[in-house]
Structure 1
Amino acid sequence: MTLTDYISPPLFANGHIQSIFPNVFRKVNGVRYERERIQTPDDDFLDLDWSCNGHPNLAVVCHGLEGNSHRAYVKGMVKALNSGGWDALAWNYRSCSGEPNRSMRFYHNGATDDLDWVVRHVAGKNRYRRIALVGFSLGGNLTLLYLGKDDPDPRVSRAVVFSVPCDLKAGAEKIAKPANTIYMKRFLKLLHEKIKAKAELFPGKIDDYGYSSIKDFKGFDDRYTAPIHGFRDAYDYWEKCSSKPHLTNIRIPCLIVNALNDPFLPESCYPIKEVEQNPKLHLMMPRSGGHVGFIRFNRENLYWSEALAVSYLNGKI
């Protein structure tokens, strides 16, 4: 199924505006988290932020690159889920909860082992009839890769993902273009803080010498992501961690929502052929929406993406 029913507010049709405005100006009130720290098999930790109202179903929310559970798009989704009959768990990737993790590794597009550990942890509580996954950007790719490549927990019954760079190489090349310089610089600046924290924890094993020479994700992934996590180079990392080749293997209902004016996504990140080959997949390609945008102005401060996710998870569309 392909639907295109998002209509942007007046003066907000531009993809860059739709991407930047919520990140800078949106405030989401009324979300209160209870934090749980769990230990990982490699003696590290993950911080999970719960927002529970005693619902029988749970949605696990996966944030984007350099995000966390307190980003407006995460809190907006959590609030909508709570109102729509779902408890929500917004988990923070390694070093994204405000405290550096203990191991050399951190998070990346292919860290499905961490997602699996979170899912099995919450499933083991036996509190929920259904578990669903919601992912944004990097978190969307992570979700799809987990569902298509790994052996997901059978209690995961449905998923919805937004603004997904399912072809990582093409996505990295798109965001490296001059038109996206503002985003690239911001991501590299935020990632630099992660590297500096790692350098303090692991002197002699990692450093930020000459970091200013890194201008794009290829430079960052060649120097840090790939060697730290066992990949040959950036190209090897992108190839092995792109979810697109694994979409036809997904066996639960899954909705992919990628706006056509998303400034981060090249043509290859709209997986029309893969969706046509897998009846479990549904693709929506709204003409606008930006990257993790989908702005709507209303009394409830409910964005289109949030209303859509709740409707899909509840089987209403």
Structure 2
Amino acid sequence: MIMISSNDFHPPNHLKNAHIQSIMNSIGPRKYRSILIQKKLPTRQLILKSRNDIRLIADFDCAQVSNKTIVILLHGWEGSSRSAYQVTTAFKLLEHGFDVLRINFRDHGGSHHLNRHFFNSTMSEEVAEAIEIFLNGHNYQHVFLAGFSLGGSFALRIAADQGDRLKLSATAAISPPVDPVNTMAKLNKALFIYERYFYKRWKHSLKAKQAAFPEYDFLNELTAARSLNDLNELFIPRYTRYPTPTAYFAAYAITGNRLAALNSQAYLIAAEDDPVIPSSDISRINPPTALAINLQKYGGHCGFIKDCLANSWIETKLVEIFEHHRCLSLNK
């Protein structure tokens, strides 16, 4: 493992606050820019079907001058392929010649009706299958994977479990939850807006699932749930194979030797001041040699916003990482 604790990211003083960084990641100027960008992109929406007839929606964009390389982007929990950070990151990559595939997890991006069973955060294998199905129909010289927040956890698990099969050249994870038990504890203690945000988004998602599959009969219990913890206690034992929220969270932790099988280079990029994910958990990863950890002083949760237009340092960093590995491969 390469452990880097650096200050490559230098936000101006008025943007150093971790909450400002985190909130500007998906609302305000970045959201407005993403809407304008998405209107201009000739995005093709795909439905990727896995071996078990699981269907995931994806947005596919091709660079005007392609470098025969694709970057696959994974969003965070209750985000989507159309989240502001997904769209602006895709646009930056497209400008540098990378084709981009933005995959929606099950029950995200308006896809509740496509699969009867509920999404849960252990479902990295079905996302890997969707990626493989897509790649089998295309001829790319280089394949990169990047994920934000929960998508970062998915990306690292996919790289460890299926990286060789998918022929991943490199993987990047931005602000991933390392130990979800601790993440949930910190989320509940953090500024109230974060817990309320995820509570409202998940509740809305569950209502959409009920509407798509009326045989699920939980609306009364859903109405009674007043917090994220209430939703966890209600839905995890009933709709996952885990008896308790703690067992469920432990099932997708990336601590210990979970990433030991990483063979291709992977990068974990996080901020010390992340308001919802404890950066101290990173020390509990038993690091394989292929994992580089870049811990920045500032950046909040998936933010790394460098100016008032909400341009993100992460977008430039991803271009730098992927271009480096593309050139390394070409020079072999």
Query: Quick one: which of 66, 90, 104 aligns to 1:78?
Result: 90
2:254 counterpart residue number: 243
Mean CA deviation greater in 145-154 or 160-169 = 145-154
2:294 counterpart residue number: 284
Cα drift, residue 221 of structure 1: 2.7
Q: After the TM superposition, which residues 1-317 of structure 1 pair with which residues of structure 2 at under 5 Å, given as runs?
A: 1=2, 2=4, 3-25=6-28, 26=30, 27-28=33-34, 29-31=36-38, 32=41, 33-53=43-63, 54-149=66-161, 153-177=165-189, 179-211=190-222, 213-245=224-256, 246-271=258-283, 274-275=286-287, 278-297=288-307, 302-315=311-324
| CA distance in structure 1 between the partners assigned to 2:298 and 2:80 by the alignment | 25
Mean CA deviation greater in 207-216 or 106-115 = 207-216
| CA distance in structure 1 between the partners assigned to 2:162 and 2:139 by the alignment | 24
| Letter aligned with residue 39 of structure 1 | K
Call closer, same or farther: CA 1:190–1:273 in 2, change over 3 Å.
closer
Cα drift, residue 291 of structure 1: 0.6
Cα drift, residue 126 of structure 1: 3.5
Is the partner of 1:48 in helix, strand or coil? strand
Mean CA deviation greater in 225-234 or 287-296 = 225-234
8 Å Cα contact 2:171-2:265 kept in structure 1? yes
| CA distance in structure 2 between the partners assigned to 1:247 and 1:271 by the alignment | 13
Measured against aligned partners, the alpha-carbon deviations of 1:48-90 in whole angstroms (never above 9, x if no partner) come to 1011123301111000011111111101110111122311000
* Structure-1-length-normalised TM-score: 0.90
| CA distance in structure 2 between the partners assigned to 1:42 and 1:208 by the alignment | 29
More helix by share: 2
Is the partner of 1:113 in helix, strand or coil? helix
8 Å Cα contact 2:73-2:102 kept in structure 1? yes
| CA distance in structure 2 between the partners assigned to 1:55 and 1:149 by the alignment | 27
| CA distance in structure 2 between the partners assigned to 1:304 and 1:44 by the alignment | 35
Is the partner of 2:47 in helix, strand or coil? strand
- How many residue pairs get aligned? The number is 313
Cα drift, residue 226 of structure 1: 4.4
Q: Identity rate of aligned residues, in percent?
A: 22
Mean CA deviation greater in 238-247 or 55-64 = 238-247
Is the partner of 1:220 in helix, strand or coil? helix
Cα drift, residue 7 of structure 1: 0.9
Structure 1: runs of 5+ lacking an equivalent: none
Call closer, same or farther: CA 1:174–1:21 in 2, change over 3 Å.
same
Mean CA deviation greater in 141-150 or 9-18 = 141-150
Call closer, same or farther: CA 1:42–1:237 in 2, change over 3 Å.
same
8 Å Cα contact 1:94-1:101 kept in structure 2? no
* Structure-2-length-normalised TM-score: 0.87
Call closer, same or farther: CA 1:152–1:212 in 2, change over 3 Å.
farther
Cα drift, residue 285 of structure 1: 0.9
Cα drift, residue 282 of structure 1: 0.7
Call closer, same or farther: CA 1:225–1:162 in 2, change over 3 Å.
same
Mean CA deviation greater in 209-218 or 125-134 = 209-218
| CA distance in structure 1 between the partners assigned to 2:270 and 2:53 by the alignment | 36
8 Å Cα contact 1:105-1:229 kept in structure 2? no
8 Å Cα contact 1:196-1:207 kept in structure 2? no
| CA distance in structure 1 between the partners assigned to 2:138 and 2:52 by the alignment | 24
8 Å Cα contact 2:49-2:130 kept in structure 1? no
Computed over aligned residues only, the root mean square deviation of the Cα atoms, in angstroms, reads 2.3
Call closer, same or farther: CA 1:268–1:149 in 2, change over 3 Å.
farther
| CA distance in structure 2 between the partners assigned to 1:274 and 1:4 by the alignment | 24
Is the partner of 1:210 in helix, strand or coil? helix
| Letter aligned with residue 220 of structure 2 | Y
8 Å Cα contact 1:254-1:281 kept in structure 2? yes
